[in-house]
Amino acid sequence: MNAVRVNLVDTSLRDGMSSVSHQFTTEQVAAVARGLDKAGVGTIEVAHGIGLGASSIQYGFAAATDAEYVRAAVDAVRSADIAVLYVPGIATLGELDQARDAGAGTVRVAVHCTEADCAEQPIAWARDRGMRVMSFLMMSHKLGPAELAEQARKLESYGAQVIYVVDSAGALVPRGASDRVAALREAVGVDLGFHAHNNLGVGIGNALAAVDSGAHYIDGSLRGLGASAGNAQTEVLAAALERAGHETGVDLFALADTAERTMAPLMKEPQIIDETALILGYAGVYSTFFHPAKRAARKYGVPAREILLELGRRGVIGGQEDMIIEVASELAKTAG
């Protein structure tokens, strides 16, 4: 494949929040954002791990408000654009407006892969106010390439400027990532992105395959910090993309220094693929079900593996977290 310019987007301060119970302080957010900016990362995503407006008893309370996190990051950087995640049904336009007032320049509107229609209002709102709009097709493994491309056409018609294939469950392998990006490349004229989770250990491979098929925006997180098995590792992505002949515009060694000296001390534990993370990817279940499934397993005395496999069989998606308890309870009754 020809060498291309790849825009690295770091999501350590949003997806990575899920691995620290959303407890990064504003000072820690500023320190990480400052290091990423110095390394040349152009877009840094900041918010509660589930996105704007998710700080709650259901998803977990964050250590600060989304607007406070955004302001801390904005004040810490010189060049990078600060982005936020907007999930319709969780976030409100009022919360997006607060993030914009705090300095966020990009919004990433995330919808389930079959529900592009839900993105129309926030995309139009953000474009009208001069924000850059990326849009996520979450759980992209649940649709074939052609069907996913149809959803992408809708997002383009609403005004999305970058459309992402998002492997929310870490269920894709390189061929699946490549086929989906290639289908979108044929269907739309806007830039494409790819967001990997590493549940099957192929997050970097999936990202490289996505680039070869036409994605020019690739998400990562320092040390792989993110929900369940984590994300493609930003500093590894930078090195692998360079070895593949692509340009990222980042300083690999400055990026590695930020991962090693700033992010690593903030992590509760190394980001690994444990049994629960593996089964989550194998079953194709949303990454943020990782900790709730473990808690339900302890409460009901049933294996997390069985809970996740049953959730996968039922086709449960993000927003149906209540099904974790229902399934665990049913499995406990059956076992009893």
- Binding site: which residues? 14-15, 168, 195, 197, 286
> In angstroms, rounded to a whole number, what is the distance separating the alpha carbons of residues 71 and 102?
5
Phi, psi of 131, rounded to the nearest 5 degrees: -85, 150
CA distances from 147 to 10, 116, 157, 158 (A): 28, 12, 16, 18
The annotated binding site for Mn(2+) is made up of 15, 195, 197
Single-letter residue type at 90: I
Q: What is the dihedral of CA 283, 289, 294, 297, to 10 degrees?
A: -70
Single-letter residue type at 220: G
3-state secondary structure (DSSP) of residue 329: helix
What is the DSSP secondary-structure string of 104-118? --EEEEEEETT-GGG
> In angstroms, rounded to a whole number, what is the distance separating the alpha carbons of residues 285 and 187?
27
The annotated binding site for substrate is made up of 14-15, 168, 195, 286
